[in-house]
Amino acid sequence: MGDPPRRLQVKFEIPSDARYLPVVRGAIGPLAAAIGWDESECRAITLAVDEALANVIRHAYHSRADGLIELECREIADGLEITMLDNGDAPDKSKICARELGCDQPGGLGTHIIKKVMDRVSYEASPEGNRFVASKLLRKTS
Amino acid sequence: MKISIRDVGDAKVVEVEGDVDLGTSPVFRRTLFETLPLAAKLALNLEAIRYIDSSGIATLIEVLKDSQRLNKQFVLFGLSPAVQEVFRLTHVIRIFRVFATEQEALETA
């Protein structure tokens, strides 16, 4: 029996500063393309990851630039898994996904985009910090 | 992100180029709110936007609401693929007046 196939895994340690967001966006699109998504899906996945990072910067670190976000992007057998860890304030679960899509209110769009694009999304607070995990399967489309 | 503003008749045409994200959207927001009261119509060209996130879309919604309060016209034109993707995901396009070209955006009352 052969070894399991090697798969792509990329890790970032990002200061909680919005000026680093383009760096991550620049990597996510090609990563998703390498796994097999088309241009439109790559844009959507990039957007979802960017929105998750922006949520951490805004809500966990309250726009302070001295926090740390660990981001891991891992190719899995049937798609992509994103894990994000931070040590800021824990997310308020009552405020997550409290918006109806298509309405004319400006708040809550980012979380809805993440849910719409990714197939599985979870948030949890642990002694290590806040952990966000999201995955997307290659065969499904947003 | 680069923003430029020009006068065309009674309208202000705002051109945005580059990325609108958490870092740049405060300038995007401030520019639109400062320009809106200065003309009867604000036409926003989104053709050269390479990336826009939910904070940019939230700004567009806020400007639209302010335009209604001030009795001004706020129209969008030239949606880039990045903008179309975010509109597709958020389903908010229906609340805006969207045109293919600047000419159409400016001619429509």
Contacting residues for B29 by C-beta, under 8 A, at least 6 apart: B59, B62, B63
Cβ proximity of A44 and B82 under 8 Å: no
Domain count, chain B: 1
Whether the per-residue pLDDT at A59 is higher than 80: the answer is yes
Residue A27 at interface with chain B, using a CB cutoff of 8 Å: no
Q: Among residues 32-91 of chain A, which lie with CB inside 8 Å of chain B?
A: 39-40, 43-44, 46-47, 50-51, 54, 57-58
Q: B101 lies in which domain range? A: 2-107
Strand partners, A121: A134
**What CATH number does the domain containing B53 carry?**
3.30.750.24
Give B83's contacts (C-beta < 8 A, 6+ positions apart): B46, B49, B52
CB nearest B89 (choices: A39, A44, A57): A44
Q: Which CATH superfamily is domain A9-137 in?
A: Histidine kinase-like ATPase, C-terminal domain (3.30.565.10)
Which chain A residues contact residue B23 at CB under 8 A? 18-19, 21
B7 pLDDT more than 70: yes
Predicted confidence at residue A127, as pLDDT, reads 84
Q: To the nearest whole number, what is the mean pLDDT of chain A?
A: 90
pLDDT, one tens digit per residue, over B48-102 is 999 999 999 999 999 999 999 999 999 999 999 999 999 999 989 999 999 999 9
Structure tokens at A41: 């899906």
A98 to chain B, closest Cα gap in Å? 14
User: Above 60 in pLDDT, residue A140?
Assistant: no
Complex confidence, ipTM: 0.90
Of A46, A103, A113, the CB nearest to B54: A113
What are A9-50's pLDDT values in tens digits?
999 999 999 999 999 999 999 999 999 999 999 999 999 999
CA B18 to chain A, closest CA, distance in angstroms equals 11
pTM (two decimals): 0.91
